[in-house]
Amino acid sequence: MSDYETPLTPCPWCGYPLDRATPLEEGGNAPEPGDLSLCFNCAQVLVVTEALGMRQATVEEEAELMADAVARRFRDQLRARDRRKVTP
Ligand SMILES: [Zn+2]
């Protein structure tokens, strides 16, 4: 997977500084306004804004992303990593 650099934006959910985006699909496109994304830190769903910043996804937008099996698996991986981090 290749990363795309994005303007540094704090996650609107957890405040984690986000400065890159990884397409969920190999060879995916760079982030565009309206795209759905996931926070690397808290695994909450984000939406790319016009200025390539991030805002919190609505319940409807989250449901749209979670209809995608690849996105669900990626989110599970992020959450598994977080659990490992907080458990010594
Ligand atoms: Zn976050």
pLDDT in tens, 51-69: 888 999 999 999 999 999 9
CA of 65 to the centre of ligand 1 (A): 16
Domain ranges of the chain: 4-86
Phi, psi angle pair for 12, to nearest 5°: -70, -10
Neighbours of ion ligand 1 (CB under 5 A): 11, 13-14, 16, 39, 41-42
Residue 52 CA, distance from chain mean position: 13
Three-state DSSP at 80 gives: helix
Structure confidence by residue, pLDDT tens digits, 16-45: 999 887 776 666 778 889 999 999 899 999
User: Residue 27 Cα, ligand 1 centroid: separation in angstroms?
Assistant: 24
Rounded Cα gap, residues 60 and 85, in angstroms = 30
Rg of the chain taking only CA atoms, in angstroms: 12
